[in-house]
Structure 1
Amino acid sequence: MRVKFWQKTLAALLVVGVLPIAFVNAVSIQGTRDRLTELGVTNIRERAVSTANAIDSYLQGPLGDVVLVSKLPAVIAYAQNVNDPDLRRAAREVLAAASARSVNYESIAIVSIDGTISAASITTDEGTNVRFRDYFLNARAGLSYISDPSYSVITNKPALFFSAPIATTSGLVVGVARMRANLSGIWDLVEADSGSVGVGSHGFLVDDYGIRLAVSETKGHRAQAESLIYKPIAAIDPEVAKKLAADKRFGQKTPDQLVLDPLPPLKDAIDRQADSATLAYNSGSAEQRAVAARMHTKPWTYTLAVPLATYTSSADDSTVSVALAAAVGILLAAIVSLLLTRSIVGPLRRLAGQAQLMSSGTVDIETAAFEDVKGDDVTHEVATAFDRLGNALRYYAATRGEAPAGDLR
């Protein structure tokens, strides 16, 4: 296929003018976008680590309080003799005083060595057997313990449980001090990250099994909190599921009834036990950048995520502007090439047409003229050359081949 002159002109204008500018701008915008992303990830990491540390610090408070309770003389005395009403009364008083230290403390209790709550700051808790709970089993073994959020068998609501062994001076464990705390303290910290590092930023806390314990979306929607948490990021191992079911972690639900909300990059970071990890994933149609920070008090991972467009929107807007400018440049180049080639090619075609007519004998050689064709300097020179050629032909025709005069050459 023959390439037309105007197409060649357009290609030249694009190669020399539009394309280099578009390329330089595209490279510059991508560089800006990368720097904005890097800056955004730095901000996300600082905030994620800060919130993870804040949750760590928060957990130490209730744990320290329950350890303190376990060492109180009234508590130790009662744990050794749970049938003494006077000792029970004294124990209830110190338990109630300890429970009043924070609005997040729902109940503090003494659990006898057989797993039965024998005295509590809320007397309705008494008589409940919790021997199957991890917090009881670990404390009875001599360890201070913080549970994962679990449904309380008493309130049937999610709660955190803190426990510590009650031991005699000889080190014999005679009972367990147990605290039930609501999740408001943790939820407050996670919810505070909603929009903290940009529009659309949100945080969520998962345990070492990848089950969501807190999400910033509960902000202003605490009534729907139970439908937003307890969503695993990956399928739960069958053996782990049995353990969680035995602990009644989810109340009346079993692990297989939980709604799976997969997030493979985070699951990989948890499996690697990385102190922090940068994640990239899609949520709906929005690309996300996130940083997962591992906690120390519990093997939990706090993740803060932000839509990438929050940081790169200015560069993205520039991309649109450059694309529009390139489109306008291409349009202008096309117009210029058409106008330019028309001013050159049109007159040349007319000259060629007249020359064709003259060569075919359609036009009398004696009357044929080219200089009346208007055009630019090049066209004028071509027309003059054709006129000189016509004069030479007329001379040859008149003289039957004698050399033309000098002014006809």
Structure 2
Amino acid sequence: MRIKFWQKTLAALLVVGVLPIAFVNAVSIQGTRDRLTELGVTNIRERAVSTANAIDSYLQGPLGDVVLVSKLPAVIAYAQNVNDPDLRRAAREVLAAASARSVNYESIAIVSIDGTISAASITTDEGTNVRFRDYFLNARAGLSYISDPSYSVITNKPALFFSAPIATTSGLVVGVARMRANLSGIWDLVEADSGSVGVGSHGFLVDDYGIRLAVSETKGHRAQAESLIYKPIAAIDPEVAKKLAADKRFGQKTPDQLVLDPLPPLKDAIDRQADSATLAYNSGSAEQRAVAARMHTKPWTYTLAVPLATYTSSADDSTVSVALAAAVGILLAAIVSLLLTRSIVGPLRRLAGQAQLMSSGTVDIETAAFEDVKGDDVTHEVATAFDRLGNALRYYAATRGEAPAGDLR
């Protein structure tokens, strides 16, 4: 296929003018976008680590209080003789006083060595057997313990449980001090990250099995909290599922009834036990950048995520502007090439047509003229050259007394 002159002109204008400018701008915008992303990730990391540390610090408070309760003389005395009503009365008083230290403390209790709650700040808790709970088993073994959020068998609501062994001066464990605390303290910290580092930013806390324990979406929607948490980021191992079911972690639900909300990059970070990890994933149609920070008090991971467009929107807007400018540049180049080629090619075509007529004898050589064809300097020079050629032919014909040869027609 023959390439026309205007197409060549357009290609030249694009190669020399429009494309280099578009390329330079595209590279510059991508560099700006990368720097904005890097700055955003740094900002996210600082906030994520800060919130993870805040949750760590918060957990130490209730744990310290329950350890303190386990060492109170009235508590130790009653744990050694749970049938004494006077000792029970004294124990209830100190338990109620300890429970009043925070609005997040729902109940503090003494659990006998057989797993039965024998005295509590809320007397309706008494008589409940919790021997299957991890917090009881660990404390009875002599360890202070913080549970994962679990449904209480008493309130049937998710709660945190803190426990510590009650031991005699000789070190013999005679019972367990147990605290039940609501999740408001943790939820407050996680919800505070909603929009904290940009529009659309949100945080969520997962345990070492990848089960969501808190999400910032509960802000203003605490009534729907139970439908927003307990969503695993990956399938739960069957052996782990049995353990969670035995602990009644999810109340009447079993692990296989939980709604799976997969997030492979976070699962990989948890498996690697990285102190912090940068994640990139899609949520719906929005690309997300996130930082996962591992906690220390519990093997939990706090993740703060932000839509990438929150940081790169200015660069993205520039990309649109450059694309529009390139489109306008291409349009102008096309118009210029058409006008330019028309001003050159049109007159040249007329010259060629007239020369063709003269050579074929259709136009009398004596009357043929080219200088009346208007055009640019080049066209004028070509027309003048044709006129000189015509004059030479006329002179030749006149001096020889004959018509021009056939091959000159």
TM class by shorter chain equals over 0.9
Question: Could you tell me how far 1:297 is from its partner in structure 2?
Answer: 0.0
Q: Which residue of 2 aligns with 1:257?
A: 257
Question: Could you tell me how far 1:179 is from its partner in structure 2?
Answer: 0.1
What is the SS of the residue equivalent to 1:362?
Answer: coil
Question: Could you tell me how far 1:399 is from its partner in structure 2?
Answer: 1.6
Give matches, 1:214-225, under 5 Å. 214-225=214-225
Q: 1:176 and 1:182 mapped to 2: Cα distance?
A: 19
Question: Could you tell me how far 1:396 is from its partner in structure 2?
Answer: 1.2
Question: Could you tell me how far 1:397 is from its partner in structure 2?
Answer: 1.4
Query: CA offsets per residue over residues 185-243 of structure 1, 9 Å max, x none?
Result: 00000000000000000000000000000000000000000000000000000000000
Q: 2:93 and 2:396 mapped to 1: Cα distance?
A: 135
Task: State whether residues 277 and 293 of structure 2, in contact with CA within 8 Å, keep that contact through their aligned partners in structure 1.
Answer: yes
Question: Could you tell me how far 1:378 is from its partner in structure 2?
Answer: 0.6
Q: 1:8 and 1:174 mapped to 2: Cα distance?
A: 95
Query: CA offsets per residue over residues 319-376 of structure 1, 9 Å max, x none?
Result: 0000000000000000000000100000000000000000111100100000000011
Q: 2:247 and 2:38 mapped to 1: Cα distance?
A: 43
Q: Which moved more, 1:108-117 or 1:396-405?
A: 396-405
Task: State whether residues 359 and 408 of structure 2, in contact with CA within 8 Å, keep that contact through their aligned partners in structure 1.
Answer: no
Q: 1:395 and 1:105 mapped to 2: Cα distance?
A: 120
Task: State whether residues 115 and 130 of structure 2, in contact with CA within 8 Å, keep that contact through their aligned partners in structure 1.
Answer: yes
What is the SS of the residue equivalent to 2:174?
Answer: strand
Q: Which residue of 2 aligns with 1:130?
A: 130
Which segments of structure 1 move beyond 3 Å, counting only runs of 4 or more? 401-409
How has the CA–CA distance of structure 1 residues 406 and 149 changed in structure 2, closer, same or farther, with 3 Å as cutoff? closer
How has the CA–CA distance of structure 1 residues 238 and 405 changed in structure 2, closer, same or farther, with 3 Å as cutoff? closer
Give matches, 1:241-256, under 5 Å. 241-256=241-256
What is the SS of the residue equivalent to 2:137?
Answer: helix
Q: 2:209 and 2:85 mapped to 1: Cα distance?
A: 43
Task: State whether residues 107 and 121 of structure 1, in contact with CA within 8 Å, keep that contact through their aligned partners in structure 2.
Answer: yes
Question: Could you tell me how far 1:151 is from its partner in structure 2?
Answer: 0.1
Q: 2:145 and 2:401 mapped to 1: Cα distance?
A: 121
Task: State whether residues 275 and 294 of structure 2, in contact with CA within 8 Å, keep that contact through their aligned partners in structure 1.
Answer: yes
What is the SS of the residue equivalent to 1:106?
Answer: strand
What is the SS of the residue equivalent to 1:230?
Answer: coil
- Structure 1 runs not aligned, ≥5 long: none
Task: State whether residues 397 and 403 of structure 2, in contact with CA within 8 Å, keep that contact through their aligned partners in structure 1.
Answer: no
Query: CA offsets per residue over residues 262-317 of structure 1, 9 Å max, x none?
Result: 00000000000000000000000000000000000000000000000000000000
How has the CA–CA distance of structure 1 residues 387 and 407 changed in structure 2, closer, same or farther, with 3 Å as cutoff? farther
How has the CA–CA distance of structure 1 residues 50 and 279 changed in structure 2, closer, same or farther, with 3 Å as cutoff? same
Instruction: Tell me the C-alpha RMSD between the 2 structures.
Output: 2.5
Question: Could you tell me how far 1:403 is from its partner in structure 2?
Answer: 15
Question: Could you tell me how far 1:408 is from its partner in structure 2?
Answer: 17
Task: State whether residues 391 and 408 of structure 1, in contact with CA within 8 Å, keep that contact through their aligned partners in structure 2.
Answer: no
Q: 1:338 and 1:397 mapped to 2: Cα distance?
A: 41
Q: 1:406 and 1:216 mapped to 2: Cα distance?
A: 95
Task: State whether residues 106 and 182 of structure 2, in contact with CA within 8 Å, keep that contact through their aligned partners in structure 1.
Answer: yes
Q: Which residue of 1 aligns with 2:317?
A: 317
Question: Could you tell me how far 1:99 is from its partner in structure 2?
Answer: 0.1
- The answer to whether 1:403 aligns with 2:372 is no
Q: 1:405 and 1:356 mapped to 2: Cα distance?
A: 15
Task: State whether residues 36 and 312 of structure 1, in contact with CA within 8 Å, keep that contact through their aligned partners in structure 2.
Answer: yes
How has the CA–CA distance of structure 1 residues 392 and 408 changed in structure 2, closer, same or farther, with 3 Å as cutoff? farther
What is the SS of the residue equivalent to 1:298?
Answer: coil
TM-score (structure 2 length as normaliser): 0.98
Question: Could you tell me how far 1:400 is from its partner in structure 2?
Answer: 2.1
Q: 1:364 and 1:181 mapped to 2: Cα distance?
A: 112
Task: State whether residues 357 and 363 of structure 2, in contact with CA within 8 Å, keep that contact through their aligned partners in structure 1.
Answer: yes
TM-score (structure 1 length as normaliser): 0.98
What is the SS of the residue equivalent to 2:166?
Answer: strand
Q: Which residue of 2 aligns with 1:200?
A: 200
Q: 1:27 and 1:62 mapped to 2: Cα distance?
A: 54
Q: 1:89 and 1:237 mapped to 2: Cα distance?
A: 45
Question: Could you tell me how far 1:402 is from its partner in structure 2?
Answer: 11
Give matches, 1:333-372, under 5 Å. 333-372=333-372
Task: State whether residues 388 and 408 of structure 1, in contact with CA within 8 Å, keep that contact through their aligned partners in structure 2.
Answer: no
Q: 2:19 and 2:362 mapped to 1: Cα distance?
A: 48
Q: 2:407 and 2:71 mapped to 1: Cα distance?
A: 127
Query: CA offsets per residue over residues 154-183 of structure 1, 9 Å max, x none?
Result: 000000000000000000000000000000
What is the SS of the residue equivalent to 1:115?
Answer: coil
Task: State whether residues 397 and 404 of structure 2, in contact with CA within 8 Å, keep that contact through their aligned partners in structure 1.
Answer: no
Query: CA offsets per residue over residues 126-160 of structure 1, 9 Å max, x none?
Result: 00000000000000000000000000000000000
Q: 1:277 and 1:124 mapped to 2: Cα distance?
A: 45
Q: Which residue of 1 aligns with 2:142?
A: 142
Task: State whether residues 393 and 404 of structure 2, in contact with CA within 8 Å, keep that contact through their aligned partners in structure 1.
Answer: no
Question: Could you tell me how far 1:395 is from its partner in structure 2?
Answer: 1.1
How has the CA–CA distance of structure 1 residues 401 and 388 changed in structure 2, closer, same or farther, with 3 Å as cutoff? farther
What is the SS of the residue equivalent to 2:288?
Answer: strand
What is the SS of the residue equivalent to 2:42?
Answer: helix
How has the CA–CA distance of structure 1 residues 391 and 255 changed in structure 2, closer, same or farther, with 3 Å as cutoff? same
Q: Which residue of 2 aligns with 1:102?
A: 102
Q: 1:380 and 1:408 mapped to 2: Cα distance?
A: 22
